[in-house]
Structure 1
Amino acid sequence: MRPQDLRVALFSGNYNYVRDGANQALNLLVGYLLEQGVKVRVYSPTSQRPAFEPVGDLVKVRAMRLPGGRGEYKLAWGLPPESRRDLAAFAPNLVHVSAPELLGHAAVAWARRNDVASVASLHTRFETYPRYYGMAFLEPVLEHLLTRFYNRFDRVVVPSPSMGALLREWGVTTPIGIWSRGIDHARFNPGRRDLAWRRSLGIADDATVVGFLGRLVKEKGLGVFARVATELRRRGVPHTVLVVGEGPARDWFAQAVPEAVFAGFLSGDALACAVASMDVFFNPSVTETFGNVTTEAMAAGVPVVAARATGAVDLVVEGETGFLVPPRDIAAYADVIARIVADPALRRSMGEAAHARAAEYRWDSANRAVLDTYLALMRSRASRT
């Protein structure tokens, strides 16, 4: 089996209509696969004004907007007839599903029914979301449903060893591989730091900037971030909060952290400049399976303070590139941030160590692992016939 023999149908709940780390990774994967000669067709809900142009052939799947104030996202009710016809005409020999939603369930059911190889990739810890909306009691139910979902595939790829271990704890028995992530090192590096850009936002040259980067949604740990900012103010720790990103919780977050400087949504070189211009990157999210924003901050030479949770535990070297803190320990977060703020030498050494560690994350090697998973699976299936 050669890469040129693969015909991959990739299913995504959001391939390009709202920008996030998951679909950035999927688009980079598709670009890599196409370069290797793999034939790829992507099935996803779409938008008339997508966040960015898709990589590869994108087939629209009918969907409805999510209720409950999250209308920026769409939900496909399985595979409608026109999508099934297109899928049959494409005749994939491998189905790749990137989200455990109704479209993903329909796709793996189609693959099993038609004896087509199947791979799932895991990008987000959806089972943690209910805790941010007062429904933590649902987490065990979601864990059970996700375990059943991933056990229907021939292979599962996860971004980090800690996520693989978590799936095993749940009871996932499907073979698990690692699809890590890469960094655009030409873009994210310490040389992008720009004090003039900080000044344009009213941030003094000698201010210590504690930064947040990501979509402004509560499941990114905004509540914890706000409480830590309040605690730092209470202790009199000199710092400036810089928030990079947009989302439905922006107004709530602005009220919770009234002293913060909001830079809005940034991309490309502007984003790289913002990240490198931070002094501490604070990521209290426990929903990450890897943490692209964490590695981008590391590549930019910024120390990281993160929740001791999946993803971050594979990236941050405790006491060397930053600190890992029990996810909801407000005092402990404030302790380590205050320590970094008070010690410029520690800040520099951690930033240098973070930059060096981030050098190992490369997109080509990460995406090659997915292609190798595809080929190994196809060879395994062929050997059984």
Structure 2
Amino acid sequence: MRILLGADTFAPDVNGAARFAERLATGLAGRGHEVHVAAPSPDGPSGTGTFGGATVHRVRSRRYPLHESFRVCLPWESGPQTAAVLDAVRPDVVHVQAHFSVGRGLAVAASDRGTPLVATNHFMPENLFAHARIPGSLRGAAARFAWRDARKVFARANALTAPTPRAVELLTRATGLPATAISCGIDAERYAGGTETEGTILFVGRLDQEKRVDELIRAAARLDRPYRLEIVGDGSERAAWEKLARDLGVPAVFHGFVSEEELIAAYRRCSVFCMPGVAELQSLVTLEAMAAGKPVVAADAMALPHLVRPGRNGWLFPPGDVAVLASVLGALLQDPETRRRMGAASREIVAGHALDTTLDAFEELYTDVTARTPGRVRVPALAA
């Protein structure tokens, strides 16, 4: 098939939605499909390149003034550009990963032209509140507006998905649109192996408000045994959380962004992985830690209970309860046998999220929506 993916975040961006789009693009290309990706330019100008066997069409972007690592595509630029990409590629199916500028432009163009359209939602309003500087008193109204806006785009799709049953429930309740749960998937064998450095607690993710890494730091400060806290990632709260760790005397190492090889090494050497975030629609980094055979301590929020089975592969804690978080972290750090047992269970659970299964599901979905779209005839792409 000729597949056009629309991604509002893509390599070199480092976040769950970008990593999923990358794995989907390279995985489909590896299966012999002709894969194109429309995504924001990482440095401004539009252009065309390649990534993992896929052709990437970069849409002109601008720096977001309230966040140094964000780039945004202005709709009056991205709309015509994404429509032009669609007309040049002439795909069998379009699959957008969001309802923002790139996804919106492609969704509108695809539905206007009768091109089969699949949409996947990775969005929660909470992910954007801090970046948009929305006061707490207005966030309820802002969330309702954001979901209404998402519905305008997703209602155009022939099929709608989200990464987990909890994410589907949230999406359907907020928009009234039916959706299917398809995991983001993971190549588990890539993370297996390595030697644990005993006493190491690991967090991986954006260092932004909804990740609540401050709770992890405060919990670590209560531990009464030797440990090391490693934090991989960057974001708007990094400086504040580095200061908090220093003030509390927490032996924390903030690595910032790291290479894929360094990230895998961090998973392999940690004793316990902790995800205190409360806005996770799946949490790819938690899946990656599980693939490395690690016990997981996570907030009892959103989709994390789909991954963490209390007493089997880790523990859940009430969001904000630093005392409970410290207690379960301390118990795991002093019990290597429980860590081994829970790590093995993590590997068993993650097997249900195999990347090949995800690719199978999307291939089947693409075939279904193209078969249900009347009058579709394979048309050669235009010459570059």
Q: Which residue of 1 aligns with 2:234?
A: 246
Instruction: Tell me the secondary structure at the aligned position of residue 293 of structure 2.
Output: coil
Instruction: Tell me the secondary structure at the aligned position of residue 327 of structure 1.
Output: coil
- Asked if the contact 2:41–2:58 (Cα under 8 Å) also holds between the matched residues in 1, the reply is yes
Q: Which residue of 2 aligns with 1:329?
A: 321
Is 1:84 the counterpart of 2:59 in the alignment? no
Q: 1:74 aligns with which of 65, 71, 75?
A: 71
Normalised to the residue count of structure 2, the TM-score between the two structures is: 0.85
Instruction: Tell me the secondary structure at the aligned position of residue 186 of structure 1.
Output: helix
Cα offsets for 1:109-159 (capped at 9, x unmatched)? 212222222111122424443268543333333233334432332211211
What amino acid is the match of 1:149? Answer: V
Partners of 1:248 and 1:46 lie apart in 2 by 21
Is 1:219 the counterpart of 2:210 in the alignment? yes
In structure 1, runs of 5+ residues without a counterpart are: 196-206
Q: Which residue of 2 aligns with 1:110?
A: 109
Normalised to the residue count of structure 1, the TM-score between the two structures is: 0.84
Q: 2:145 aligns with which of 141, 144, 148?
A: 141
Q: Which residue of 2 aligns with 1:165?
A: 169
Partners of 1:126 and 1:335 lie apart in 2 by 31
How far 1:351 sits from its partner (Å)?
1.8
Q: Which residue of 2 aligns with 1:24?
A: 19
Deviates more, 1:177-186 or 1:154-163: 177-186
Please report the RMSD computed on the Cα atoms of aligned residues, expressed in angstroms: 2.8
Q: 1:289 aligns with which of 258, 281, 296?
A: 281
Is 1:361 the counterpart of 2:353 in the alignment? yes
Percent identity between the two aligned chains:
28
Instruction: Tell me the secondary structure at the aligned position of residue 192 of structure 1.
Output: coil
Cα offsets for 1:183-225 (capped at 9, x unmatched)? 3333312x31254xxxxxxxxxxx5222111232233222332
Matches within 5 A, 1:1-385: 4=1, 7-48=2-43, 54-55=51-52, 56-68=54-66, 70-78=67-75, 79-130=78-129, 134-135=135-136, 136-137=139-140, 138-174=142-178, 176-189=179-192, 191-193=193-195, 195=197, 208-230=199-221, 232-233=222-223, 236=224, 238-258=226-246, 259=250, 260-382=252-374
How far 1:373 sits from its partner (Å)?
0.8
- Asked if the contact 2:297–2:314 (Cα under 8 Å) also holds between the matched residues in 1, the reply is yes
How far 1:49 sits from its partner (Å)?
10
What amino acid is the match of 1:219? Answer: E
- Asked if the contact 2:38–2:85 (Cα under 8 Å) also holds between the matched residues in 1, the reply is no
Partners of 1:214 and 1:163 lie apart in 2 by 19
- Cα pair distance change 1:53/1:311, threshold 3 Å: farther
What amino acid is the match of 2:157? Answer: F
- Asked if the contact 1:181–1:361 (Cα under 8 Å) also holds between the matched residues in 2, the reply is yes
Partners of 2:152 and 2:341 lie apart in 1 by 45
Partners of 2:43 and 2:161 lie apart in 1 by 31
- Asked if the contact 1:15–1:54 (Cα under 8 Å) also holds between the matched residues in 2, the reply is no
Aligned length: 362
Deviates more, 1:88-97 or 1:251-260: 88-97
Partners of 2:81 and 2:348 lie apart in 1 by 49
What amino acid is the match of 1:221? Answer: R
Partners of 1:65 and 1:264 lie apart in 2 by 20
How far 1:379 sits from its partner (Å)?
1.6
- Cα pair distance change 1:188/1:162, threshold 3 Å: same
- Cα pair distance change 1:83/1:377, threshold 3 Å: closer
How far 1:383 sits from its partner (Å)?
9.4
How far 1:53 sits from its partner (Å)?
6.4
How far 1:238 sits from its partner (Å)?
4.4
Partners of 1:364 and 1:31 lie apart in 2 by 12
- Asked if the contact 2:234–2:256 (Cα under 8 Å) also holds between the matched residues in 1, the reply is yes
How far 1:268 sits from its partner (Å)?
3.1
Partners of 1:144 and 1:318 lie apart in 2 by 35
- Cα pair distance change 1:183/1:192, threshold 3 Å: farther
What amino acid is the match of 1:220? Answer: K
Instruction: Tell me the secondary structure at the aligned position of residue 142 of structure 1.
Output: helix
Instruction: Tell me the secondary structure at the aligned position of residue 187 of structure 1.
Output: helix
Deviates more, 1:271-280 or 1:180-189: 180-189
- Cα pair distance change 1:17/1:268, threshold 3 Å: closer
- Asked if the contact 1:298–1:355 (Cα under 8 Å) also holds between the matched residues in 2, the reply is yes
- Cα pair distance change 1:164/1:360, threshold 3 Å: same
- Cα pair distance change 1:208/1:221, threshold 3 Å: same
Partners of 1:216 and 1:120 lie apart in 2 by 27
Cα offsets for 1:77-104 (capped at 9, x unmatched)? 2235444333212223422111221222
